Structures are given as C-alpha cells and as structure tokens.
Amino acid sequence: MAQAFIGLGSNLGDGRGNLLAAWQRLQAEAGRAVALSPPFLTEPVGMESEQLFTNAVGLLETRLAPQALLDKMMDIEAGLGRDRQKGRDRTVDLDLLYYDEVVIRTASLTLPHPEIANRSFVLAPLAAVAPLHVHPVLGLTSLAMLQRLGRQTGVRRISWEKT
C-alpha cells in the first residue's frame, strides 16, 4: 500500500463539515485513513474571496496508483459540489501533496505538489500531522519548510468540534 498525503480545503458553507465529508468519502472509496490533522482557518491565496478557508491534511493508505487516486479525488470534489472554474469559492478542494516518495511530472499530475513549500495553509496542517516527513526533492521536513516561511499570519488552528 502507498501512503498519500492529501490537502483538504473549503471556503463555502460548513468548512469543517465539508472536509469531514470529503475525508469520509476518501476512506470509503480510495483507502484507509492513517491520520487527519486538526483544521486551520486560513486566508484565501491566489483568489479574491471574502470567505476564509478551512484547511487540513490527511494521510491515506491506498492501493490506487497516483493518477487513479487523483481522478477519484476529483470525482469526490464534483460529488460534493466543487465548481472547478478558476478563482471560484469551493465547497471542497482536494490536492494530492505526496504519494510515497514518487516524483512525477505529467500534464495532469505533478508530485510532490509543486507549491507545498510556499503555502502555509498546507504546511501548518502537514506539520501538525507529519512534522518530520521529508520532501523527496527539497530534502526538508514539513516543519522545516513551515519555519522557513516565517511568521504564519492568516493561519489559525481550530478544533473539529463546533463551538
């Protein structure tokens, strides 16, 4: 079985609920859950929106090949109401961050995800669930990449429980 780290994000509706629904579908359709980070509230990056994102990272064991896993993730996004138009708010956004130590670049898939080291909304939950995981290209841990970004403005850890 391969280990896949998956980034989860939502900025429409019940963010925590959307992420948990996506995570449950991933477990049912793509593999076995190993770990899920706490959720984080984050400011939108690369898009204009008034809505904060809820982000998390999950570790999934899967028998699916990388492209098949990505295809399944896109099916789950669509099933949960994702509008794939660029710049649109999202009920759910799933990103394949790592797949074992695979390094690949195709027209539809780049592994590891090319923006991991630049995104605190990915690194904060990734460091929470796997602080010592090493990026296979950069040779840096999740925690080291997060520390390199410096002060984490616009990223706040929350609970899965609604208060």
pLDDT, position 28:
96
Confirm whether 82 is a catalytic residue. yes
Active-site residue, selected from the candidate residues 84, 93, 148, 151: 93
Q: How confident is the model over 25-71, as pLDDT tens digits?
A: 999 999 999 999 999 999 887 777 788 999 999 999 999 999 999 99
> Over 70: is that where the pLDDT of 18 sits?
yes
Which CATH number, 3.90.320.10, 3.30.70.560, 4.10.780.10, 3.40.50.300, labels domain 2-157? 3.30.70.560
Q: DSSP letters along 132-143, please?
A: TPBPTTT--BHH
Confirm whether 156 is a catalytic residue. no
pLDDT, position 114:
95
Q: How far apart are CA 2 and CA 29, in angstroms?
A: 15
pLDDT, position 84:
67
> Over 80: is that where the pLDDT of 136 sits?
yes
Average pLDDT over residues 4-10: 97
Radius of gyration of the chain (CA): 15
Sorted by where each begins, the domain ranges of the chain are: 2-157
Flag whether the pTM goes above 0.75. Answer: yes
Give the residue carrying structure tokens 């840096």: 140
Confirm whether 75 is a catalytic residue. no
